[in-house]
Amino acid sequence: MDDVYMDQMDLKTLYRFSWTCKELNDRVLGYMRRAFCPKNLFAPIFKPNEHLLFRLLQFKTGLVIS
């Protein structure tokens, strides 16, 4: 349920929301790990396990996505 609400918040709001108490801090950190996991972000673009090869290419060449 947290993801439904946190998906609607910008990063600044999430950051401030995490300051309110330890429980919400833990929830926000968990959300950030799930929401910004490279594997999940690349899922619409790459087949399973192809994202690892792309990450290796990024590491070796300094490639940055902006």
Work out the average pLDDT over 15-24: 93
Tell me the per-residue pLDDT of 20-62, one tens digit each, with 9 for 90 and over.
999 999 999 999 998 888 888 888 989 888 988 998 999 999 9
Instruction: Specify the pLDDT at position 62.
Output: 94
Would you give the distance in Å from CA 24 to the centre of its chain? 17
Instruction: Specify the pLDDT at position 18.
Output: 92
Query: Interhelix angle for 11-18 vs 22-35, to 10°?
Result: 150
Instruction: Specify the pLDDT at position 1.
Output: 64
**With the CA atoms of 36, 52, 46 and 32 taken in that order, what torsion angle do they form, in degrees rounded to the nearest 10?**
-10
Instruction: Specify the pLDDT at position 66.
Output: 80
Instruction: Specify the pLDDT at position 19.
Output: 94
